[in-house]
Structure 1
């Protein structure tokens, strides 16, 4: 099935600053994997161009399947391919994977423990097309699914490495996707992605910022700005929501005076909830400020305007770290 002409809902380049970028890091990584892994197949639900899987399709057209606008069928076919020995990477938007196809993800993939990799575009507030396209609760839904690995990478380096890790992992994976020209935040030479492991990117004892997804880039920028104001902020990047690196989070929180969480997701059920659970279980008491989206559907509008309105910008992280009231 031919894909529709591009609209603004179909994924903007994620680059917003001055960092170097990589075009389609997921598709490039999958294409590279495909050269030595004939078991890898690609699928999409009429969103190949907008989930960056086309580099794989172009290299291996006989191993690529566009099932049309049928996300339940997408997941079911992927599960069937996995049952016969293939390693399918199935791409769609996060809202469609986590809402329309959730039962199929839970039963056909996770319950059956099929080796399916679901790659989900437009995470959180990265599109202005409102509640129908903004996957603001997908991490909460997916982390509650037994046996499902959940990944929220922060940049091009993370995406490429997480794609490789997902392919090597024997089991179901749900990975959020930043698409288009994705910033390079983490050093591709030294950074090592490992499922279930957090990474401390910056030290500082005054405040600790625990971030996931593209909010890690903003956390690092906030830490730099805070240092100029005499506030020493540590940054812990948590790319894997499940399994969650509770030990690293507890140790990090214990080393700082107060904690800020930052996520491109509703603050209930995602990273903030996991951090709060971790601190409670470890008996660690720290002031905790949560940067994330409210428990409501977000309206349509320009993405920068919406991100500012709902307080998930670098400035909002700075304000929380300084202890100022958040909007």
Structure 2
């Protein structure tokens, strides 16, 4: 039996695609010379007739994916998230405007590729795909959630963007829920003084922050949103009302990302004390993602400190 928890996020991606290919004959995978690095090779080994490498040509890759979708296939197009944004025009004009069932998968997102510097660190991708009207946007937290998100994405009507890391992950969601549902948020920790909303790989940092706050006498809820769009508005509303203070945390620019999506909703429905934690500038070269989380202040201690400030303001 496959032990998903032991896999890296990109390995979980490759295994999920291969298993999905077993279940559906219409699934095809396209890569931009990234079959090895994205682990799409697992699909290629099992389904060689449905695997296509178009070379370092991201715009062509998305265009070909659109054509395959029009021909009745369900294409998954994979490359580094930082390079997939090069094909945003094709994603808009060839995929989104016709609401085609194309799944774009951006790997090595956020600080996952710490070693290759800011050119390889996608910190704007959620904003770029969230703004496209028909795209569903998924940002799983760990390997278990990557695997489940890929399988669940096959049932989504219209295009999907899936944000995946590389090797770094702290298994947190494996026992969080029984079944992954697109559009649903999951409560990792219950609390009543402040709500910490997360998406992507920062979930375990928020869980640890909640423990720090508990030791200080502050009850913090941690709610994880693997689906950035469509956002689980009912859960946002519930915890904003219950706590009166919301802190969002993401491995993404603070402009246009997950925090912006939450703020856009709350400012129109239930204004509360709110803060957005994320990035305000490009990344930098580092030995590991953890070095970058520490450098940019995305640590449990900093999350706890910001949440405590919101409680005092409230």
TM-score normalised by length of structure 2? 0.91
Residue 317 of structure 1: how far off its partner (Å): 1.0
| Other-structure match for 2:138 | 151
After superposition, the Cα gap between the structure-2 partners of 1:44 and 1:188, relative to the gap in structure 1 and judged at 3 Å, is: farther
Residue 284 of structure 1: how far off its partner (Å): 2.9
1:104 aligned to which of 90, 98, 113: 90
Larger mean CA deviation between 271-280 and 208-217 belongs to 271-280
Structure 1 gaps of 5+ residues are 1-18
Q: Secondary structure at the match of 1:255?
A: helix
CA distance in 2, matches of 1:181, 1:310: 17
Residue 189 of structure 1: how far off its partner (Å): 8.1
1:90 aligned to which of 77, 80, 83: 77
User: What aligned pairs does 1:169-208 form with structure 2 within 5 A after superposition?
Assistant: 169-180=156-167, 182-188=169-175, 190-208=177-195
1:298 and 2:278 matched: no
8 Å contact from structure 1 (residues 211, 236) kept in 2: yes
Residue 108 of structure 1: how far off its partner (Å): 0.8
1:21 and 2:9 matched: no
1:241 and 2:228 matched: yes
RMSD between superposed Cα atoms in Å: 1.9
TM-score normalised by length of structure 1? 0.87
Q: Secondary structure at the match of 1:307?
A: helix
Residue 257 of structure 1: how far off its partner (Å): 4.0
8 Å contact from structure 2 (residues 112, 166) kept in 1: no
8 Å contact from structure 1 (residues 208, 258) kept in 2: yes
| Other-structure match for 2:111 | 125
Residue 36 of structure 1: how far off its partner (Å): 2.1
Structure 2 gaps of 5+ residues are none
| Other-structure match for 2:307 | 321
1:221-261 CA distance string (max 9 Å, x none): 22123223322110111111111122211211111142211
8 Å contact from structure 1 (residues 150, 242) kept in 2: yes
Q: Secondary structure at the match of 1:323?
A: helix
8 Å contact from structure 2 (residues 110, 165) kept in 1: no
| Other-structure match for 1:8 | none
More helix by share: 2
8 Å contact from structure 1 (residues 208, 234) kept in 2: yes
CA distance in 2, matches of 1:220, 1:68: 41
* Number of aligned residues: 303
CA distance in 1, matches of 2:119, 2:104: 19
User: What aligned pairs does 1:152-167 form with structure 2 within 5 A after superposition?
Assistant: 152-167=139-154
8 Å contact from structure 1 (residues 21, 183) kept in 2: no
Residue 299 of structure 1: how far off its partner (Å): 2.7
CA distance in 1, matches of 2:177, 2:283: 37
CA distance in 2, matches of 1:29, 1:184: 17
CA distance in 2, matches of 1:254, 1:247: 11
| Other-structure match for 2:253 | 266
